[in-house]
């Protein structure tokens, strides 16, 4: 089956602002660290092995904190009575409790969602500021059925129940979907389409007419356990990917999302990263990635031995960079938040240490992590990925669900930063970058990276880089996810 060719563009402007964080690395002239202890993968692959799998998350399992068990039981009872106005704040309370239990107390980045009406008022304010019409989809996976709730600025709240999508089937299909996308043996196939269409039919199709009638441009997904690392951009209706219709973001909840807006066209970028590691596979395209970003945006880059925790603290403290780009290994692992980390040159920055960096004052609008991966099927890893923006104290985060090839990462990041200069909102810049890849417009041709928003970029010499490489398969683009505010 050929890749979809239709395109629905989205226009709009955004509201209040906060800095953006990205991670990238450059190769310096100083001596490299010790060579990796294990044989590194080919230069074009950041890491082809999928992250470890775990049993499907079960939010109803015994041992969950009592407050969370009570909140989930209350929510189920409310769904059964059909009182959706009451269900919305209950969903917010449940989700906030889950993230606070994992990440720790004090997560008050967003505004309190005391009622469905307060959320509708917020969406109306954002639309007035940006021209962008946004809708929030809550998906609650109950043991016997899926509950969907859609909130838009205008009109009634929409509630749909999908009885065929019980929790076990839904989570199993979500894992199959991700497995099909990331399986390198199937990189030239479309085997991902079957689960992509199933998930679309369960999560989107029941709300499709409501989305069209409300003329929604952007969807914010607040998803239940087992779905929080779903590559929603690659959901498919049989003709188009979801990202061809809407710009997209994953949020923990509106209560944990900063809904202030500020356009980023004049922002500066702090780009840092590493290409060499003592105990991890190298990232040979990081120097070019950082160089390409700094050529498009004002800012500074720090590579390899300059990519230290001390420099990250001091440079951001001295200059209020709105975008932080980190090009390095990042791992969202099973277990507690201190198991997950971002690899700096001299240390591992644990997820539960990120708030100590002070990125909320002055605010960082965007944090970019270009070489992350998240353990499949683990509730803790899901909460770490989905809560990245709020834990870091930033408004938005752009991160990858799995390691993507160097060529794919460079292609998407280069196009994203080109689009971001003119996009009203961040998620639209990501959308346009993903569309350029899935339609074959961003590609490797005769050793050069070419794309609609790019001046041709000559890749480092290497046998693989001299071939023509298509980047249309969802493996290359659908793992990159906007977390937190799409605006």
**Helix ranges restricted to H, 379-455:** 379-386, 388-392, 406-420, 426-438
Asked if the structure places residue 168 within a domain, the reply is yes
Residue ending a domain, among 256, 276, 300, is: 256
Is pLDDT at 156 greater than 50 in this prediction?
yes
Mean pLDDT for 88-105 is 91
Angle, alpha carbons 98-102-104 (nearest 5°)? 105
Q: How many domains does the chain have?
A: 2
In a domain, 12, yes or no: no
Q: Which of 75-84, 153-162, 251-260, 439-448 has the lowest mean pLDDT?
A: 439-448
* Residue 355 domain flag: yes
Q: Is the pLDDT of residue 19 over 80?
A: no
> Rounded to a whole number, what is the distance in angstroms from the first to the last CA of the chain?
34
- Is 209 found in the same domain as 94? yes
Residue 37 buriedness (CB in 10 A; 0-12 / 13-18 / 19+): exposed
Q: How far apart are CA 215 and CA 309, in angstroms?
A: 45
pLDDT score, position 3: 45
Answer yes or no: is 374 within a domain: yes
Whether 249 and 279 share a structural domain: no
Residue that finishes a domain, picked among 256, 275, 310: 256
Selected residue with higher pLDDT from 41 and 105: 105
Q: Is the pLDDT of residue 267 over 50?
A: yes
The answer to whether position 58 is within a domain reads no
335-366 pLDDT, tens digit per residue, is 988 899 999 999 999 998 998 999 988 889 99
End-of-domain residue from the set 203, 221, 256: 256
Does 150 have pLDDT greater than 50? yes
Q: Same domain for 94 and 214?
A: yes
The mean pLDDT value of the chain amounts to 86
Question: Do both 155 and 96 map to the same domain?
Answer: yes
Other beta carbons within 10 Å of 456: 12
Inform me whether the pLDDT recorded for 370 exceeds 80. Answer: yes
**Are the beta carbons of 361 and 292 closer than 8 angstroms?**
no
Specify whether the CB–CB gap between 269 and 416 falls below 8 A.
Answer: no
- Among 226-235, 342-351, 456-465, 476-485, the minimum mean pLDDT is found in 456-465
User: Do 235 and 316 have their domain in common?
Assistant: no
**DSSP one-letter string for 304-320:** GGG--HHHHHHHHHHS-
Asked if residue 160 and residue 101 are part of one domain, the reply reads yes
pLDDT > 70 in the chain, percent: 83
217 and 116 belong to one structural domain: yes
DSSP 354: G
CA-wise closest residue to 251 among 59, 119, 144: 119
The total of other beta-carbon atoms located within 10 Å of residue 458's CB is 11
- The answer on 276 and 203 residing in a single domain is no
- Domain hosting 37: range is 19-49+267-484
Is 84 within the bounds of a domain? yes
């Amino acid at each position: 089956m050929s890749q979809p060719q239709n395109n629905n563009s989205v226009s709009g402007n955004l509201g209040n602002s906060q800095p953006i964080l990205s991670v990238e690395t450059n190769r310096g002239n100083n001596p490299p660290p010790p060579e990796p202890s294990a044989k590194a993968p080919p230069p074009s692959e950041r890491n082809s092995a999928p992250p470890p799998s775990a049993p499907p998350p079960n939010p109803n399992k015994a041992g969950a904190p009592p407050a969370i068990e009570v909140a989930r039981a209350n929510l189920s009872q409310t769904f059964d009575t059909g009182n959706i106005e009451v269900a919305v704040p209950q969903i917010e309370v449940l989700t906030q409790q889950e993230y606070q239990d994992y990440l720790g107390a004090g997560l008050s980045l967003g505004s309190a969602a005391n009622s469905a009406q307060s959320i509708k008022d917020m969406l109306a304010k954002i639309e007035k500021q940006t021209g962008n019409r946004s809708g929030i989809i809550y998906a609650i996976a109950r043991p016997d059925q899926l509950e969907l709730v859609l909130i838009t600025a205008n009109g009634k709240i929409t509630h749909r129940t999908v009885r065929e999508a019980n929790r076990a089937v839904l989570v199993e299909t979500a894992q199959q979907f991700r497995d099909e996308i990331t399986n390198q043996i199937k990189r030239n196939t479309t085997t991902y389409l079957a689960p992509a269409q199933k998930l679309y039919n369960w999560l989107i199709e029941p709300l499709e007419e409501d989305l069209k009638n409300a003329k929604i441009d952007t969807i914010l997904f607040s998803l239940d356990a087992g779905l929080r690392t779903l590559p929603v951009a690659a959901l498919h209706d049989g003709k188009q990917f979801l990202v061809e219709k809407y710009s997209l973001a994953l949020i923990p909840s509106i209560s944990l999302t900063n809904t202030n807006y500020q356009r980023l066209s004049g922002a500066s970028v702090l780009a840092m990263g590493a290409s060499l590691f003592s105990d991890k596979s190298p990232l040979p395209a990081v120097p070019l990635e950082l160089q390409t970003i700094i050529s498009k945006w004002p800012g500074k880059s720090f590579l390899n031995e300059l990519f230290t925790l001390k420099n990250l603290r001091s440079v951001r403290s001295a200059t209020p960079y709105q975008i932080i780009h980190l090009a390095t290994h990042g791992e969202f692992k099973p277990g507690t938040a201190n198991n997950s980390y971002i690899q700096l040159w001299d240390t591992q920055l644990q997820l539960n240490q990120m708030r100590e960096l002070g990125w909320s004052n002055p605010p960082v609008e965007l944090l970019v992590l270009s070489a992350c991966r998240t353990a499949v099927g683990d509730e803790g890893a899901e909460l770490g990925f989905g809560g990245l923006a709020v834990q870091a104290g930033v408004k938005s985060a752009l991160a990858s669900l799995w390691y993507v090839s160097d060529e794919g990462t460079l292609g998407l990041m280069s196009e994203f930063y080109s689009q971001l200069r003119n996009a009203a909102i961040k998620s639209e810049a990501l959308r346009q970058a993903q569309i350029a890849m899935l339609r074959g417009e961003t590609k490797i041709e005769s050793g050069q990276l070419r794309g609609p928003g790019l001046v041709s970029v000559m890749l480092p010499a290497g046998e693989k880089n001299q071939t023509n490489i298509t980047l249309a398969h969802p493996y290359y683009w659908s793992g990159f996810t906007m977390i937190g505010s799409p605006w």
